[in-house]
Amino acid sequence: MALRHYSYIIIGGGLAGASAVEGIREQDKTGAILLIAAEKHLPYDRPPLSKKLWFGKKTVEDIILHDQAFYADNGVTLLLGTMVSALDVGAKTVIDEQGREYGFDKLLLATGGAPRRLSIPGSDLDGICYYRTLDDYLRMRSLAAEGRSAVVIGGGFIGAEIAAALTINKVKVTMVFPQPYLINRVFPRALGTAIQERYREKGVVILNGETPTSFSRQGDRFVTRTSAGKQLGSDMVIVGIGITPSTALAQGAGLTIGNGIVVNELLQTSHADIYAAGDTAFFPYQALGKTVRVEHWDNALNQGKTAGRNMAGAAQPYTYMPYFFSDLFEFGFEAVGEVSSDLEIVFDWVRENDTGVIYYLKDGKVRGAMMCNVWEKVDAARALVRSDETVSAGTLVGRIR
């Protein structure tokens, strides 16, 4: 079989991969592009899978990033539902699961991440959902009828968002997670415990400080056993305990790996013609002066575009500060920078644990900010983080809100 050669190959059909097409075409209108994606769907927007799709604010058609005509018009060959089995950096070729080989001038690894899986008895039972994809949403949505029950494993963003979405759809939800309160890596204790109490008021049963120890089936229902000896019967089990970056292809090719695929400020890997972007890229975060991996929508969007431009010759450093957002019942927020509950916290509440701004400080300087039910202040927060200004609690009151 003859080798098919492309100017650009993109491995990964998420937001970073789709955005890279746009970035490439800003610089190069004609170079042949091949996009290879493991999922059979056209590239789509992932945040609505745990947010707006559940609330009737978007349809599946709405979350598709580009239609078939976009890829045809931009000279993109799509290989959907296809896994890449090998990358040869010396020959600059990739081989798919069917043994077909493709050559490239420039390659983007936008391979994203895979859901972390439990390793307890029954954790691989058919029907347990490690929530990540559109197919996962479609399957869970079909089961989420009024009066049904679900056990949600995980108290981070995905677990909390899914629990809220199911509850709004009148599913009886029990959450199980080992941390002392919801989203404890990001939320200060006062806020996290307040949000947790609101979940309980909505009818969510929260078993914090517990872990699942096994899953089994009784007829068409699941039984979850916990570290406290509880047995939870449910129609659904959904696991949302984070993702691990998909680095196997890069690692097998000998590229440098850290907490993800290591890239420089241009998003180049240790091979100058191979780039990485999105959830899997371990990149220098210019505004924070540290190397990080960011798993949020805004980063995938902008990093994908920058990688695409640079593959086509732009040589543009990635200096963007991505933001992220979430909706947990009536509590919504936008956040930017480094938001860790381990940092020094300054609260600027209008309404405690509901409306206001939380600042995250280190050495007297703002490293991040979370705007709670306060909107259109992301740029102001970015400017404050970038300013490297020494601040105090008093100087932050009313600063953004």
- CATH 3.40.980.10 assigned to 330-396: no
The rounded distance, in Å, linking the Cα atoms of 401 and 46 is 29
- pLDDT at residue 401 in the model: 84
Q: Is 352 helix (H, G, I), strand (E, B) or coil?
A: coil
Sequence-distant (≥ 6) Cβ neighbours of residue 72 within 8 angstroms: none
Query: pTM for the full model?
Result: 0.95
The rounded distance, in Å, linking the Cα atoms of 28 and 225 is 56
Question: Which candidate, 48, 14, 9, 7, places its Cα nearest to that of 280?
Answer: 14
The rounded distance, in Å, linking the Cα atoms of 321 and 301 is 12
Q: Where in the chain is the domain with CATH 3.50.50.60?
A: 4-114+243-311, 117-239
Extended strands (E) in 154-280: 172-177, 205-208, 212-218, 221-226, 231-234, 236-239, 243-245, 257-258, 260-262, 274-276
| CATH code of the domain made up of 117-239 | 3.50.50.60
Below-70 pLDDT ranges, the chain? 1-2
- pLDDT, one tens digit per residue, over 378-391 is 999 999 999 999 99
* Domain at 4-114+243-311, CATH homologous superfamily: FAD/NAD(P)-binding domain (3.50.50.60)
- pLDDT at residue 3 in the model: 84
- For the chain, what's the residue count? 401
The rounded distance, in Å, linking the Cα atoms of 394 and 113 is 41
Tokens (6 digits) for 276: 């990485």
Enumerate the β-bridge partners of residue 302.
none
Give the containing element (helix H, strand E) for 176: strand 172-177
- pLDDT at residue 1 in the model: 58
- pLDDT, one tens digit per residue, over 274-296 is 999 999 999 999 999 999 999 99
